[in-house]
Amino acid sequence: MKNENGATCSKCQTVHPWLSYLAGQDFQCACGEVLQMPQEALPSSDEGELLELADDLLVSPIPSVPKPASPLPIESSQSTAGSKDEYELEDEPMIPPLPVAPAPQARPVQSDTSVATCPKCSQQFGAVARACPHCGFSPSGQKKPSEKPRQPSRRNETDEPRVLFSVGSMPFSFGKLVVFLALLGGLLGGLYWFVTGPAASFSVVDQRVVHATQVIPMTIQMRGSLVQGMGSALTGGASGGGDGTSAGNATLTRDPGRMAAGQTNILTAIRNDKTGQNLLVSVGIQKKLMEIHGQTSGYDMVLVASAFELRVGQKTYPARLLAQTLPLACKIDLAGASTSEYRHLLPSGKVPDKTSWGQGRTPPRGTVTYDGTMGVQGELDYIAYAIESNWPGASGLFAEGALTMTDANGIVIDYKYNGDNMVVTAPNNSEMWRAIKDEKIKASWSPWHKYYFSLLFDLPAKEVSGPWKIYFMNEHVATLRH
């Protein structure tokens, strides 16, 4: 029901004054009846002030208590006792409550007893389930809920790492145990490396299967500049004596000295070949071990090839000791050689097919011819000075010509004779080494100093079974992998 100043409830007859913020809107009476506030109303002046006061109180979130007005003057005792106060209101208007929004209706919940059919496997299951328990199909893309119960956390209430055990007053958690084991493993690994490496009396640096062929006998003579022997293979030391060679860490390409025709060393060409017939092993031996087995000469150490051997089962393979690498093209002195033996001009172990001598000519001379029967082709003319009777004590050779040797595994060696010298050249895919029978090297002051070089063995046949063991002076010093 509406009136000119507001709305009157038709149920409880409560008069609701007109409020501006409810103009034209529905609101709910305290009894539950829904009423509509008129669009406009023209209240009296007194009622307008009260309505504005009520309006302010309702709009404000926290109603504020108006400050009391200044005290009213006390009237005379002649005032009528039953008269009303000027500020007293006959009827206090009732402030209507705020509109109550209707409560949202809850969605109907399906009963657990309702059944749905899976569109994928056609099996029935509870409709409240998110996915089919049979095949895991879910219309919303959710996975089948895991049936495995959740494992409780292993951490304690204070969130501290779990202590596995204690050593004395030191507790060990899982993290501390892992760090301790890692440090212990590193320490043991370093100790093993030191014992088997720098501190080992004999160590194997590398091994490989190769093919090797002997090129020509030669020697190194100390005439002029100092020869630095054992360069790329043997470290330590400065100089030596004996046969005119010396120890050091330089190669002949740095300080070549003088290579001459002779028989102390054998130039050896090597090529990496998995089907080769030789085994090249790079090793290091400690000075202390050499002293124990008497490999000394005065203040020098002595390397002897015959002191090393490879034993496989009941079979023994002697070693060839490779002291250092040389240039692929080696220049060899002939005129200044300490020998006049013409066979030192020829490929190692290759007998000429034809040899002719110059009769009645001094110094003696001749011609050597190879027709390829032994894998060597070519011819050279030579002169042997040492036989000349007018030159007592003279030595040296002179040769002109060219030879080419091809071994069974395809290594080609060229020999070029240029009168007072010759040049021996190996192919680019090979290495040139200086093989020795024995050699003196300068001793180091440290008993733990190591000398490095290489050993060349014939490759054991496959039918020979057993571990490959290297022996030095009949003492087992290393076992090779194969």
The answer, yes or no, to whether residue 42 has pLDDT greater than 90, is no
Cis-peptide, bond into residue 97, ω within 30° of zero: no
Q: Which of 65-74, 179-188, 211-220 has the lowest mean pLDDT?
A: 65-74
The answer, yes or no, to whether residue 88 has pLDDT greater than 60, is no
pLDDT of residue 150: 58
The tokens for 181 are: 């084991």
pLDDT of residue 115: 74
pLDDT averaged over every residue in the chain: 75
Q: How confident is the model at residue 154 (pLDDT cuts 50, 70, 90)?
A: low
Q: What is the distance between the alpha carbons of residues 475 and 210, in angstroms, rounded to a whole number?
A: 26
The answer, yes or no, to whether residue 399 has pLDDT greater than 70, is yes
pLDDT of residue 425: 96
pLDDT of residue 163: 81
pLDDT of residue 141: 56
The answer, yes or no, to whether residue 82 has pLDDT greater than 80, is no
Q: Which of 159-163, 404-408, 466-470 has the lowest mean pLDDT?
A: 159-163
Tens of pLDDT, residue by residue over 116-140, are: 778 778 777 766 677 787 787 776 6
Q: What is the distance between the alpha carbons of residues 259 and 182, in angstroms, rounded to a whole number?
A: 55
Burial 421-434 (b: 16+ CB within 10 A, else e): bbebbbeeebbbbb
> Which comes out higher in pLDDT, residue 179 or 81?
179
Shortest CA distance to 379 belongs to which of 421, 335, 346? 346
What are the distances in angstroms from CA 25 to CA 22, 35, 59, 103, 321? 5, 8, 16, 18, 115
The answer, yes or no, to whether residue 85 has pLDDT greater than 80, is no
The answer, yes or no, to whether residue 204 has pLDDT greater than 60, is yes
> Which comes out higher in pLDDT, residue 454 or 18?
454
The answer, yes or no, to whether residue 250 has pLDDT greater than 60, is no
> Which comes out higher in pLDDT, residue 250 or 364?
364
Q: How confident is the model at residue 26 (pLDDT cuts 50, 70, 90)?
A: confident
For residue 62, count other CB atoms closer than 10 A to its CB. Answer: 5
The tokens for 465 are: 């079974």
Q: What is the pTM of this model?
A: 0.55
Tens of pLDDT, residue by residue over 439-480, are: 888 888 888 888 899 999 999 988 888 899 999 999 999 999
pLDDT of residue 467: 92
Kindly state the average pLDDT of the residues 70-80: 48
Q: What is the distance between the alpha carbons of residues 15 and 6, in angstroms, rounded to a whole number?
A: 7
Kindly state the average pLDDT of the residues 324-333: 91
> Which comes out higher in pLDDT, residue 370 or 189?
370
